[in-house]
């Protein structure tokens, strides 16, 4: 029997995974979302802190992974499922969930569905059965590449994401190769750069450092005032759902001399200007310390995306 949700009812969601990202996401849904309701969390470690916290918060749980989730009574009402596991595991999760008509928000680098970065293309894939949240570095930097690209063509975009080693759990470390590949691809496909490159640094400094991101864009000479204004406007849009996202210093511009090796990254483009943007991302500390801004921006972006998907589906269902 198909259940009909009443007007104004929250969309029920589930989270696969019980690690740092999954747990932070669960707590965000409980604390700050006005349109989503978490119905279940599925993990594979019965002793994980994530599942223990979920049980204390009266969220239904299973330690039998995706198979346990779809067997739960609570799953019947779930409309959107967040996958916060690994790129390898996501392929089967997606297959199982698509067969059951659920929408998937993928927080792994698997990239089976289209990339979504909320302030750049948040409304572009509202009917997709699976959307991919790129990576933490991608969520922090692709909006900036897109902001520069809104003013002038970005011939080459390079980002360096530096995160505290202590904020990189087993899943992040296992997905390092996928991180660089997925982020590089999304710099081009979403950010609009002709070429993209991504680098991640796990910083072992103690005490742990807040996430720092550097964005370099090679562009033709342009009105720098317009680029700065576009970047600052984009920072404000990201801050709407990630308050700890900020410019670390003013946008910098450097002329690239004709004999500079950087010209090999954008050949046959004439005079070049390097635009450099330095960012800092402080987490909201819903579950993890504030230095784990890499996790916070990922879960915040996923939450914003799911809320938009839920609103769209409710609107379509009401027609």
**Looking at the annotation, which residues are catalytic?**
136
- Integer angstrom CA distances of residue 182 from 56, 77, 234, 237, 286: 35, 32, 22, 23, 27
Residue 13: CA atoms inside 13 Å, Cβ hemisphere, count?
31
Quote the Cα angle for 23-132-297, to 5°.
50
- Cβ neighbours for 264, distance < 8 A, ≥ 6 positions apart: none
What is the residue whose two structure tokens read 């317009």? 226
- Cβ neighbours for 255, distance < 8 A, ≥ 6 positions apart: 271, 272, 273, 274
- Integer angstrom CA distances of residue 291 from 25, 121, 162, 204: 16, 27, 11, 12
- Cβ neighbours for 219, distance < 8 A, ≥ 6 positions apart: 148, 152, 153, 154, 155, 227, 272, 273, 275
Cβ 102 vs Cβ 82: under 8 Å: no
CA–CA separation, 30 and 44 (whole Å): 22
Judged by DSSP in three states, 134 sits in coil
Residue 10 is classified by DSSP as P
């Amino acid at each position: 029997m198909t259940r009909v949700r009443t007007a104004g009812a929250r969309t029920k969601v589930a989270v696969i995974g019980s690690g740092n990202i999954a747990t932070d996401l669960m707590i965000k849904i409980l604390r700050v979302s006005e349109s989503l309701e978490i119905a279940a969390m599925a993990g594979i470690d019965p002793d994980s802190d994530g599942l223990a916290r979920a049980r204390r918060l009266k969220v239904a749980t299973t330690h039998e992974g995706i198979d346990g989730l779809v067997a739960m009574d609570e799953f019947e009402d779930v409309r959107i499922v967040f996958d916060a596991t690994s790129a390898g595991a996501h392929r089967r999760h997606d297959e199982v969930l698509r067969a059951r008509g659920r929408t998937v928000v993928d927080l792994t680098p698997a990239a089976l569905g289209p990339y979504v970065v909320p302030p750049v293309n948040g409304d572009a894939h509202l009917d997709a059965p699976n959307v991919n949240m790129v990576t933490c570095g991608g969520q922090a930097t692709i909006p900036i590449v897109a902001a520069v690209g809104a003013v002038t063509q970005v011939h080459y975009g390079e980002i360096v994401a530096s995160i505290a080693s202590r904020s990189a759990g087993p899943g992040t470390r296992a997905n390092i190769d996928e991180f660089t590949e997925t982020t590089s691809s999304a710099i081009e496909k979403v950010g609009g750069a002709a070429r993209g490159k991504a680098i991640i640094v796990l910083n072992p400094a103690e005490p742990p450092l807040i996430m720092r991101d550097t964005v370099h864009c090679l562009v033709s000479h342009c009105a720098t005032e317009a680029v700065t204004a576009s970047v600052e406007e984009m920072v404000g849009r990201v801050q709407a759902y990630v308050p700890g996202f900020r410019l670390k210093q003013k946008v910098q511009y450097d002329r690239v001399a004709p004999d500079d090796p950087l010209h090999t990254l954008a050949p046959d483009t004439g005079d070049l200007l390097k635009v450099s943007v330095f960012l800092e991302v402080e987490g909201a500390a819903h579950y993890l310390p504030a230095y784990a801004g890499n996790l916070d921006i990922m879960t915040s972006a996923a939450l914003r995306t799911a809320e938009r998907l839920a609103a769209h589906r409710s609107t379509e269902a009401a027609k």
